[in-house]
Each structure stands twice: as structure tokens, then as C-alpha cells.
Structure 1
């Protein structure tokens, strides 16, 4: 019956499925970012899929790239993850869960490597700050001079691609024509910003335009 007042809300089972799908999509995006980041550091295409992230020997190579020296890798491969997590000061992630392929544990371990990179290569005055907070604050400060755009998080603030282009524009206004990017689609705006950053500063493409819009 029309106008019966029946609820159109999704059944709880469907809501759980949607949440699970969103979570899986988020994890998949993180996997791709970590793979691209690691390959950029190593200058190779050594990592190709999720199993590559689970492989402790790849984490060893990335750790060596971060500290800038080669280590003598001794012992059983099963010692790789326990050693790596100890080296980066992570006492929370369970190395056995990483080796067993627990997705959350694997991604957590790689996030620890990213943060270890930050603590070793960030400006000295920022190394004790949390990576995500430092970047967020930097974005907010840069964008404060542009009244037409507002950045307050790493999701909705960047989905339409404007923020990426404004960040580049804040450094060199010759690189970005804001009037032109305003007429582009979201995917084209993101592609434009990523292309300029890669060409100008050799910034690796850790995200794909389609992956950024969800």
C-alpha cells in the first residue's frame, strides 16, 4: 500500500553487510597505499598483493630503506615480524597474528612502519607529533588563506579533489589554474593534482582517483 507509513529502513542484516563492505573497501585501499609506498621506497615493484604485505622479508627491506643501511638478516623467516615490530617500537601488534594473515594486524604493522619512517625523516620539530595530526594541522594551516575551501578531515574534505589542487596552488600558483580545476569532474581534479605533484616533486601516487572517491 502507498503511504502506509511502513518503514523504509534497511534490515539490520543489510546494515551489517553494508558496514562490512565499507570496512573491506577501507582495508583494500590501505593495502594498495602500503604496497605503493613500500615499492616507492625500494625503487622496485617487489610488493604486488596482500601476501606481499604479510611477508616479513619485505618489511625487513623497507625497514632497511628507512634507516639507510643494510642489516644482516639471520635466523628463521618466522623471526622477521617479531624483530621488525621490536625495531620500530611496536609492542601492541601481535607478530603471530601478522604471520597468520590477520588483516587488521598486517595493516597495523605496516602503519607502524609508516610512523617509524615519519619519526626518522620528518622535520625535527615535528617528529614527536602523531603523523596524522601533524599532516591534518598542516593542511588546515595552508588552507586557512583560502576562504572558498575548508579542510577538517581526510575523507569528505578531499573527495571532490579541490583540496589537493589548493595545496599545490599554495606552494606555486603557476602550477594550478583554479578556474580550470573548478570546471573539472572530481576524478579529473584529483588526477590533475596527482599528476602535477608527481611531475614537479616526484610525489608517488599512493592513491588512485577512483579509490579516493567513495
Structure 2
């Protein structure tokens, strides 16, 4: 009997057979299709990168032109590699001075970029997969991602149109900007419905409708609807730049495509929201809204400054002087506004009090900023500045007790305590003044350890303290002496009353004396 034939495979052959059975056979016709898809994706990505690079470069140059000295970049990917222009950009955006290394070695470049990124992290700006080495190497996606974060944080999220909850939640920035656009363009053109920052802008109608909402005299919407797409886009970009002062960050050919770049359009539109924001929530009229907006921006700006470490004390003091002047001008505007609206029956009194509280808060923050600068001065300068701040705090105190409701003994005790405190602080004021005058004459101090403006300010405050402390000292001595005399009068009055009780009334005594004679 013949046995059935069996095929015996080796272990290796078995594994090969299994692999072959589990392998998907690719049809030759699918290879070109896949390559074509990959090529389309690559083309789209390259186009997106090109448009973003152009838009972001223009945006960066707007702010670099405000730097002292001014800067300009030609190639976004190359010109940020040494970190100096990135730091300059951050200084303009934040109002802060950042440390910088001027060397051209790779280590200097890495240090500059690292300083910039650390500053952003200190401001709680989340940087995902952005490393100093990638910026120094000029990697396009890293640099585009970094610039987009700056645009998002310093232009879109920081726009005055957002309320506090929107600023705290960055995921809402895009939705908030879109909602602002929808409110502006609603009802401008029949059928216009802005739903995104891509295809809704392709035909140019939304750009023109936005300009018309801001300045109706600049755009004839009926004429615009009869234009072709490129003509509409050119009309909007030209009018915005020439009449509204909105820089042209994008071009018609960048928008008239299948899918316009979302980030580029958001960057461009955010310029409108910053220049022409709606009145803040709760504002009564335009001037009130402008004051509220300035107050909100100032408080936010000062919060960041007070939290940040001092990088260059002389540069920061100059920034303090600049903002102090701006604050004084706004205070004048607020006082004039208060005088006018306090007489108006249509302006709520609680709104005036609210605004007053806001300005008082800013004044307090400005004082805290000055204190921060004073106490960061080196050596003897820091000691003198600390004494000046202590002296000013003491001199600003009022007499926080009711003298007329207190007994002479209580008033004597309190004024004695005030006199002792005053003497403890101001006994050495002449020695403090001599030390300051010596430092002021030292050529190694001015513009090296302290700016001339800061030194002048300390000098003026010191002179004020000298005069005010003399007056306060004399006043406290007078009050203590006055209440001691008052105590004697009370004692004398009591003594006379006791005599009257024992001897009787003086008139009766005199009468008895005369009768006796």
C-alpha cells in the first residue's frame, strides 16, 4: 500500500511561506496614485510655508522698525539664527530689556535664543517642541511656530476686544477673533457669512465688508460686488493700508487660492481688531471706553513688569520714566472727564468711582515699580534708596487717631511714640545726605551703576524728605508739648474745683470777709 505523499518544509521555509501569505500585494496602478497624493500634500505644505514666511516676515519688520536701533530682516529663517533680532522683537513686544551677547560664535547664538525662550516661558507662554538649537539651525517649521506663538500671544490674544476670560483661555483666541469679525460684517453684504479664516475670505467680499463696517465712506459695497476676485482683494488691501493704516501683510495671489493660509489671514485681520476695537464691556460712552481700555492695558502691562526680574536696571528705569509720563497725562484726561461727567445726570456715579479706583490701583503699581528699581541698586546706592523709601512711607502717614476724643494722657503717649519713631529714622539724615552727595560726584557711578535720570530722581526726593521731615518733626514736638500743657490745665482746673469744695465759692468768701471787717 502506497502512503500518501507529504511535503516536508524546513523551519526557515515555513517562516518564508508565512511572510509571503501575510504580505499585501500592491498593484502597480496604486503606486503612481500614491506618489501623486504625496506630491500634492508636499506642494500644499510648501505653499503654506511660503505664504506664512512672507506674512510673518512683514509682521516682524513692523515691530523691528520700532526698536532702537531699528532692525530689518530679509529672510525669516536665516536672520533669526543669531538670536539678536529675536531678542529685539521681544523687547518691542514686551517693553522689557533682555540680556544679549554680541559675539558671532554658535555658543553666543544659542545663548541669545535660549534667553529669548526662557523669557517667554517666564511669561507662561507655552512653547511646544521649540528648542534653541532648532532656531539657530534655521529650521523653518520651528521658526514659523515660534513667530506664530508671538503673534497669537502679543497681537491676537492681547487685543483689546477680548475680555479677561478670553485672555486667560488661549484656545478661545481664534473663536473670539472670528466672533468679532462676524459682528462687524453681519448684514453688510447679502449672503456674506464669515465662518472661518480660510475659504470665507477667498472672494474678497469679507475684507471689503470689514473695512466698510469701520469706515463706510471708504468702500462702495455695490461697486465691490461687481468686481472680479483679484480686483476686490486689491481694493481691500490698498484701502486698508492707505486709509486705515493697516499694513499689507498678504497679497491677492495669497488669498485667491483653493485654501488660503489660516494663520496668515488671522495675523492680518488681528491688525484691524487692535486698531479698531469695540468699546469695552460696561463702557457708557466712547471716552469712558477709551479710558477703560487704557486702564486694562496698563494694569496688565504693569503686572508683567512687576513679576519679571530686572535685566538692565538703567534701561528699565528709562522705560519707567516713559510710562510715568504717560500715566500723568492719562490722569489729567481722567480728571477732566470726571469733572465733566460728575455734572451729567446720565453718567452713573458708581462708574466714576470704579474708574477712580482703577487709576488709584495703577498709581500704586507705579510706586511698586519704582520701589523695585530703587531696591535693586547696588551697594551704598541701594542703602540710600531703601532709606528714602522708608522715609517717604513714614512722611505719608497721617495721624490715625482722634485727638479730641482721647484724653491728654493718651495723646501725650501717642505723640511721644511718633516723636521717637521720627527721631529713629531722621536723626542720621544729614549723614545720609553727605553720603549721597559723595556718591553723586563719583564719575564711576553715573551711567555705570545708575542712570543719570534715576540719580536725579533720588536727589529730588532726598531734598523733599529733608524739608518735610523738619516740618513733621516740629509739628510732632508741638503736639506733644501742647497736650502736656493741656494736661496741666486739666490738673489746675481739678485743683480749683477741689479748693472750691473745701473753701466755698470765692465770691462768698469775699463777702464773708467784707462782713467780718
TM interval, shorter chain, is 0.7 to 0.9
For 2:223, the equivalent position in structure 1 comes to 180
Q: Does the CA-based 8 Å contact 1:118-1:127 persist in structure 2?
A: no
Which residue of 108, 111, 127 maps to 1:91?
127
Structure 1 residues 121 and 201, CA gap change in structure 2 (3 angstroms):
farther
Q: For residue 87 of structure 2, what is the aligned residue in structure 1?
A: 60
Distance 1:53 1:157, change over 3 A: farther
CA RMSD in angstroms, aligned pairs only:
2.3
- Equivalent residue for 2:211? 168
Three-state SS of the structure 2 residue aligned to 1:157 is: helix
2:184 aligns with 142
Q: Deviations over 1:83-131 (max 9, x none)?
A: 2222223332222222222221111111122123137842162433433
In structure 2, the partner of 1:15 is 37
Question: Partner of 1:77 in structure 2?
Answer: 109
1:24 pairs with 46, 54, 76, which one? 46
Q: Computing the radius of gyration over CA atoms, which structure comes out larger, 1 or 2?
A: 2
Q: 2-side partners of 1:91 and 1:153: how far apart?
A: 25
Correspondence for 2:174 among 122, 132, 135:
132
> TM-score under structure 1 normalisation?
0.86
1:159 corresponding residue in structure 2: 202
Matched-pair contact (CA < 8 Å) for 1:88–1:116:
no
Distance in 2 (CA, whole Å) between partners of 1:119 and 1:15 is 34
Superposed displacement of residue 144, structure 1: 2.8
Contact kept, 8 Å, 1:66 with 1:120, in 2: the verdict is no
Q: Within the alignment, does 1:46 sit opposite 2:82 as a pair?
A: no
Which consecutive unaligned segments of at least 5 residues does structure 2 have?
Answer: 1-28, 103-107, 258-517
Distance 2:139 2:116 in 1: 17
Q: What secondary structure is seen at the aligned counterpart in 1 of 2:201?
A: coil
Aligned to 1:105: 142
Q: Provide Cα deviations, 1:181-214, integer angstroms capped at 9, x if missing partner.
A: 1121211111111111112221111111111222
SS of 1:11's partner is helix
1:165–1:176 CA contact under 8 A, matched in 2? yes
Cα deviation, residue 17, structure 1: 0.4
